[in-house]
Amino acid sequence: MNIIDIITKKKNHEPLTTEEIKYVIENYLNDNIKDYQMSSLLMAIVLNGMNEEEINSLTKFMLESGDRIDLTSLGTAVADKHSTGGVGDKTTLIVAPLVASCGVKVAKMSGRGLSHTGGTIDKLEAIPGFVTNLTEEEFLNQVNNIGLSIITSTKNLVPADKKIYALRDVTGTVESPALIASSIMSKKIASGSHNLVLDIKVGSGALIKDLETAKELANIMIKIGNSNNMKVICLLTNMDIPLGNNIGNTLEVEEAINILMGKTDGPLKELCVAIASYMVSLGLNISYEEAEKQILDNLKTGKAYTKFLEFVQAQHGDLSKMTKKANIYQVKTNKPGYLTNIDAYKLGRLSMELGAGRENKEDTIDYSAGIIINKKINDYLNIDDVVYTVYTNKDINNLKFDIFTLSETPIENPKLIYEIIK
């Protein structure tokens, strides 16, 4: 058995055996398979897919490549969530303290940015001093004490996925239901929670571009979860336009704080309430309606924001030192009209070019870089109205006008949640 034969087999649309997938994972981890060879196999998987048996085997061997977290000491009121990645998606920063404020513990391991989409850990590390690499003991103690902790994966938790994930980010091999499902579910199973809410993004700014593929991915992950004693609920949500107004790490932390403080309404808040309500419903074994009432009450009273502050302090973050040290540019309209489209993918790519994301594994993020969208869909804009504002420390040659569309008439307001699959 060798990697060249396995690459050729997948290139020719042939399914890989359980033994071949095991060989790939074990030998990539011990460096017998090189990055360029793994990249070739990943591209073949992106192009030709994997069947259910292959996906189950890939998940199994990635899961078995490291340790698992035992959350039994936290009790049964525990829930986790995951987003497949989108532009401006800072839901975890809002949802986690919301859920914890209702008495459901959130022991969450998150990742860094993937392609044009941001990562929760990058956003948290925009808070000066914030520590994301706690030991397992520190992690569990914090969840027991305040009900919430968010960290990077421990060194021995699904190391195969960690290595493959970083490679996918920089080789154009992100958009594959098989790779997405095995990556997410191996980490979530290893993380120990038996209640999981998945936010599957769909649209131009997401890894998944169409509803049919999103439904396929949802059903794959629900099956994997159920076979591992995990309850899974999937929300299919709109990512044709960015989520919220802010894109970029410091900017997204600021927007999350504004939601938790009750200063901002809109689709971002609506989605966070829905995700949090499903998590609390699973964690406390109550109806969605009962959970939603608790969530809304805790937003209104400030209990959720207090939990966020407690969480940041526990992980040594200092919000008072968070600043935007960047040059500011405004993009204005050159004609009047209704704002009928904001291209999430193009904004995500622009944000990455400004310094808010990574082109290569070794790139350093500029936490202050990013974009604020100043208008919303169906706003009427006059000439010279500011559509979006750019923050960057890089030289800007020209800012793009093809990111947004102005029309003579408004459109039907975009749907936020397409479907919920259980």
Are 153 and 107 within 8 A, CB to CB? no
Find out whether 104 and 78 touch, Cβ atoms under 8 Å: yes
Catalytic choice (149, 176, 183, 191)? 183
Nearest 5°: phi and psi at 72?
-60, -30
Specify whether the CB–CB gap between 153 and 111 falls below 8 A. yes
What is the crossing angle of helices 91-101 and 249-260, to 10°? 30
Catalytic residue flag (residue 10): no
Give the contacts of 176 (CB within 8 A, at least 6 positions apart). 42, 45, 46, 49
Decide the pairing of beta strands 148-152 and 106-110. Answer: parallel
Catalytic residue among 168, 201, 215, 349: 168
**Burial of 252 by CB count in 10 Å (0-12 exposed, 13-18 middle, 19+ buried)?**
buried
Question: Active-site residue 82, yes or no?
Answer: yes
Query: What token pair was written down for 25?
Result: 């994972």
**Known catalytic residue at 349:** no
Residue whose pair of structure tokens reads 């499903």 in the numeric block: 278
Beta bridge partners of 421: 234
Q: How far is CA 157 from CA 341, 354, 355, in A?
A: 40, 32, 29
Sheet holding 417-421, edge to edge: 80-83, 195-202, 231-238, 417-421
End-to-end alpha carbon distance in the chain: 40
Name the active-site residue from 108, 112, 163, 187.
187
310 Cβ partners below 8 Å, 6+ apart? 146, 148
Cross-sheet strand order for the sheet of 370-373: 246-247, 370-373, 386-392, 327-332
List 82, 90, 123, 163, catalytic entry: 82
Torsion angle, CA of 377/253/290/236, rounded to 10 degrees? 50
Tell me, yes or no, if 316 is annotated catalytic. no
Active-site option among 89, 161, 199, 240: 161
**Can 116 be counted among the known catalytic residues?**
no
Token pair recorded at residue 149: 């902790």
Active site residues: 82, 161, 168, 183, 187
